[in-house]
């Protein structure tokens, strides 16, 4: 296994607190866990950004939130408003979902304008923008490549694979998703400018998963199994007393 510290792994993690059923107490517990392990950010539901910013004040953990989540269907001006309000509330990173229908329509002028409109807000306020492709809905690699090119042109900070909620109906009638696949991560790293980082989200649940995507050029992951991933660096399991940093 690659020699790596708990802190190096922690700083790859956006601790995800996005599930619709998470109540306020669950969110507070998640924020405290993120602070305890010094992760890169807490990625939290938009209405809770202010709470997260207050709880994380003075820490080394950033506040991240989502825009147009999870399906990307909001109007451009609504996404802009969401972004402005999120930053006003204390968000330092923004994960926006592209308009997937417009990507599939190959309306690249619309897609470019939408991302550029959000970039204008994030650049103005010094926030980082991650653009979520939702690759489970994009069976044509050319669509993913074009998104990488647009994001590179607009100098976004990250391209991101998935929301974690992009469920597709399978042949047996069930719904599931692939999330961050190896093929997609290789493609996104290859076709994005070197200045654009890659975030893997959806299915990265273990230290082994994390190290694997790191080898593919991923610098950030979205995770709910944060504690288990970090403690595994020292061979511990979640629930055991971790050593401090």
Annotated catalytic residues are 95, 160, 199
The number of residues making up the chain comes to 245
Class of residue 175 by CB neighbours under 10 A (exposed 0-12, middle 13-18, buried 19+)? exposed
The answer to whether 97 touches 79, Cβ cutoff 8 Å, is no
Q: What DSSP designation does 232 have?
A: G
Tell me which residue of 24, 65, 28, 23 sits closest to 43, measured CA to CA.
Answer: 65
The CA-atom distances, in angstroms, between 77 and each of 93, 104, 121, 220 are: 19, 21, 11, 28
> Tokens representing 141?
């690699």
Q: What DSSP designation does 155 have?
A: T
**Opening angle at CA 140, ends 169 and 115, nearest 5:** 95
Which residues, 6 or more positions from 115, have their beta carbon under 8 angstroms from its beta carbon? 96, 98, 131, 150, 151, 154, 156
CB atoms within 10 A of CB 20: 7
Secondary structure string (H, E, C) spanning 83-95: HHHHHHHCCCEEE
């Amino acid at each position: 296994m690659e020699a790596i510290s708990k802190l190096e792994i922690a700083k790859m993690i956006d601790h995800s607190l996005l599930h619709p059923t998470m109540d306020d107490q669950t969110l507070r517990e998640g924020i405290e866990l993120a602070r305890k392990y010094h992760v890169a950010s807490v990625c939290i539901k938009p209405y809770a950004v202010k709470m997260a910013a207050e709880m994380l004040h003075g820490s080394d953990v950033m506040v991240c939130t989502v825009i147009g989540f999870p399906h990307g269907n909001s109007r451009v001006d609504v996404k802009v408003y969401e972004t402005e309000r999120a930053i006003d509330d204390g968000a330092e990173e923004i994960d926006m979902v592209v308009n997937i229908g417009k990507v599939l329509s190959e309306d690249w002028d619309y897609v470019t304008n939408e991302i550029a409109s959000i970039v204008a807000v994030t650049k103005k306020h010094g926030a980082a923008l991650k653009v979520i492709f939702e690759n489970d809905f994009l069976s044509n690699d050319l669509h993913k490549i074009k998104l990488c090119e647009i994001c590179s042109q607009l100098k976004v900070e990250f391209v991101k694979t998935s929301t974690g909620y992009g469920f597709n109906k399978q042949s047996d009638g069930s719904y599931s998703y692939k999330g961050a696949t190896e093929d997609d991560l290789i493609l996104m790293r290859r076709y994005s400018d070197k200045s654009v980082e890659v975030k893997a989200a959806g299915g990265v649940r273990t230290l082994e998963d994390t190290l694997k995507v790191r080898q593919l050029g991923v610098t950030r992951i979205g995770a709910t199994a944060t504690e288990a991933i970090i403690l595994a660096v020292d061979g511990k399991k979640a629930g055991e007393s971790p050593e401090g940093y």
